[in-house]
Amino acid sequence: MTNIDVVVDPRTSRIPTDAQVEAAAARARKRHKQLVYFWRIGLLVAGLIGWEVASRMQWIDEFFFSKPTDILDRLWTWSTEGTSEGPLWLHLWVTMEESLLGFFTGAIAGVIAGIALGRDRMLADIFSIYIKVFNSIPRVVLAPIFIMLFGLGLASKVALAFVMVFFVVFSNAFQGVREADRNLLANAQILGARGWQLTRTVVVPSAMSWIFASLHVSFGFAIVGAIVGEFVGARHGIGLLINIAKGTFDAGGMYAAIVVIMIVALAAEYVMTLIEQRLARWRPPALLDLENA
Amino acid sequence: MLAPATPAEPVIELTNVTRRFVSPDGKSMTAMKEFNLTVMPGEFVAVVGPTGCGKSTTLNLVTGLVPPSGGQVSVMGKPVAGIDPSIGFVFQTDALFPWKSVIDNVVAGPIYRGVKKAKAYEAAHKNLSGHENKFPHQLSGGMRKRVSLAQTFINEPKILLMDEPFSALDVQTRVLMHDELLKLWGDSGACVIFVTHDLEEAIALADKVVVLTSSPATVKSVYTVNIPRPRVASEIRFDPRFLEISRVIWDDLREEVLRGASRDEARVAELQQ
């Protein structure tokens, strides 16, 4: 809890009322929030100005590091006039399509496999070694193989995003199922739950917070998969834009593409948090949230 | 209570039961041996014994969650095969589904058993006094236990198994829960096995108190508690008969507790060498 100093006035020596204490607490909370936002924005602005100045004063080489105004200018041209490879929105859409398809198929497959193996000791013991083996392959090296197998189009990027997402979600779902409370399982069985009912009403909800934790990171991984796939070979996509910018030593273009991806990833993260909050209404608030409330 | 005209069949019968299990380091351990226990219809049996003597194993044998290694466990005259639908179980720790609201927790049993949703909710809405839509973490320990009891009793169990259900509650709340349990049990006509380490709780609630030996568990002695019903758990502890019975059973139990404790010490000393 935040400590609030409500001073007893020495002249009247009156003890503050509840309303005064509450008002003081509300003020302290508001001040804390304002301070946080002030520093957040301040640091961003200072960083951008520092970059701009350093670049203009030639403390850093503009050729490699570009500068914020150039990047902004590039983003403006891209969004109004399009890139040299066609409209920005087309590239963005292609990358998103690949990421989303890879993310959903990977997440669904990961959850199903995780729950199946988590529930069945025998399956888990047999397959765990293979999962370890495949998991030890750095996913990025699969990019050229997938492009060879599935061509330059959508399928190869979706496949890469899929393998990026699958293992993360799988191992969390597996762990979540393993951690399901034995008492809850026994209780459900005695109350009358059988087979699939037990999985659906106890095992899956128990694993849900584990699964969600993995979904948060894995959307980022899906984007990584799509972009790496586009580096290696593609006709559209943000990865292609970065690749072309690299080829023409166009630092501004590279940073602009990175900014676009950053915005998309942050928006996705935000949506995910909203969904999670809705699904996790039953959970007691974390200690930290209580303190910041 | 009047004695029934025909001699009733026991609802639960454990005959010469032995239970062995293999510990994680691969050793065979005996939790129970030559264990005999019968529970008649509507009877309230409390099982007391030193810590870790295998009291809970008794309950797990009746549910069929663990099989006996020898002897026989029968429920309603038939050997146990899987969880009997007439069993209700109240756990020591919280076993409510944390992601379900109070009302959804209570109706879980009937819905698992295929009762129509509308009918199940209608039956559950009695007795919840405005807390239906809260989640378990928003309730006090006593309220959560009350929801657990509601969740168990809505299935109308004929056999009620309770594994130290109130041990986590504070003393005042515990006494209130005793009265609540006696009322629910009185209306249901179920027979009960109530496992506890609290002797006063056992005497206040039960018709019959079974004292177990320290491990491996066998029945050491069985006492009949002839305090008339209806009882008020919050007042019974001042009854002279209650004090008399407590003293007699405690003398018996103390021996086992000491024996269990000295063995634990010996085991610790052995590990330290």
Task: Give the one of A188, A197, A282 whose C-beta lies nearest to B99's C-beta.
Answer: A282
**What residue numbers bound the domain in which B80 lies?**
12-86+157-272
**How many angstroms separate the CA atoms of B273 and B63, rounded?**
40
- Whether B108 has its CB under 8 Å from any CB of chain A: the answer is yes
CA distance, residue A126 to nearest chain B CA (Å)? 21
Test mutation, B66, B83, B99, chain A, max A CBs within 10 A: B99
Top-ranked range on mean pLDDT: pick from A9-18, B200-209, B256-265: B200-209
Residues paired with A79 in a beta bridge: none
pLDDT for position B128: 66
Residue B19 lies in a domain: yes
- Whether A287 has its CB under 8 Å from any CB of chain B: the answer is no
Beta carbons of B93 and A184 less than 8 Å apart: no
Check residue A137 and report its DSSP letter: S
Residue B150 lies in a domain: no
Question: In this structure, what CATH number is given to the domain that contains residue B52?
Answer: 3.40.50.300
Residue B97 lies in a domain: no
The model's pLDDT over B4-33, given as tens digits with 9 standing for 90+, comes to: 545 678 899 999 999 888 888 888 888 888
Report pTM: 0.80
Q: Which residues of A touch B65 (CB under 8 A)?
A: 186, 189
Q: Which residues of A touch B112 (CB under 8 A)?
A: 188, 191-194, 197, 201
Total domains in the fold of chain B: 1
**How many angstroms separate the CA atoms of A57 and A51, rounded?**
10
For the record, the structure tokens of B163 come out as: 């594994």
Residues of chain A with pLDDT under 70: 1-13, 285-293
For the record, the structure tokens of A214 come out as: 């993995």
Beta carbons of B108 and A201 less than 8 Å apart: yes
Asked if the model's pLDDT at residue B273 lies above 80, the reply is no
Residues paired with A86 in a beta bridge: A83
> Closest residue of A to B83, CA-based?
A190
Task: Give the one of A192, A282, A283 whose C-beta lies nearest to B109's C-beta.
Answer: A192
For the record, the structure tokens of A4 come out as: 């609030």
Beta carbons of B94 and A201 less than 8 Å apart: no
For the record, the structure tokens of A186 come out as: 């026994």
For the record, the structure tokens of B190 come out as: 């179920």
Task: Give the one of A183, A197, A284 whose C-beta lies nearest to B95's C-beta.
Answer: A183
Is the omega angle on the peptide bond into residue B165 within 30 degrees of 0, that is, cis?
Answer: no
Q: Which residues of B touch A191 (CB under 8 A)?
A: 108-109, 112-113, 151, 155
3-state secondary structure of B148: helix
Split at pLDDT 50, 70, 90, the class of B195 is very high
State the DSSP H helix or E strand holding residue B46, giving kind and residue range, or none if neither: strand B44-48
Split at pLDDT 50, 70, 90, the class of B271 is confident
Overall average pLDDT of the B97-126 stretch: 86
Domain range summary for chain A, segments of one domain joined by +:
18-60, 68-292
Check residue B68 and report its DSSP letter: -
Test mutation, A282, A287, A290, chain B, max B CBs within 10 A: A282
Residue B141 lies in a domain: no
pLDDT for position B6: 55
3-state secondary structure of A145: helix
Q: Which residues of B touch A283 (CB under 8 A)?
A: 98-99, 137
> Closest residue of A to B139, CA-based?
A284
The model's pLDDT over A198-218, given as tens digits with 9 standing for 90+, comes to: 999 999 998 988 898 898 889
Residues paired with B195 in a beta bridge: B47, B163
- Whether B165 has its CB under 8 Å from any CB of chain A: the answer is no
Q: Which residues of B touch A181 (CB under 8 A)?
A: 95
Alpha-carbon B231 to chain mean position: 19
pLDDT for position A286: 59
Task: Give the one of A189, A283, A284 whose C-beta lies nearest to B83's C-beta.
Answer: A189
> Closest residue of B to A180, CA-based?
B97
The model's pLDDT over B137-179, given as tens digits with 9 standing for 90+, comes to: 888 889 999 999 999 999 999 999 999 999 989 989 999 999 9
CA distance, residue B195 to nearest chain A CA (Å)? 16
The model's pLDDT over A165-191, given as tens digits with 9 standing for 90+, comes to: 999 999 999 999 998 888 899 999 999
pLDDT above 70: percentage of residues in chain B = 96
Fold (CATH) for A68-292: MetI-like fold (1.10.3720)
Q: Which residues of A touch B97 (CB under 8 A)?
A: 184, 188, 201-202, 205
**How many angstroms separate the CA atoms of A49 and B153, rounded?**
69
Split at pLDDT 50, 70, 90, the class of B126 is low
Amino acid letter, residue A188:
A
CA distance, residue B269 to nearest chain A CA (Å)? 32
For the record, the structure tokens of A75 come out as: 């983003």
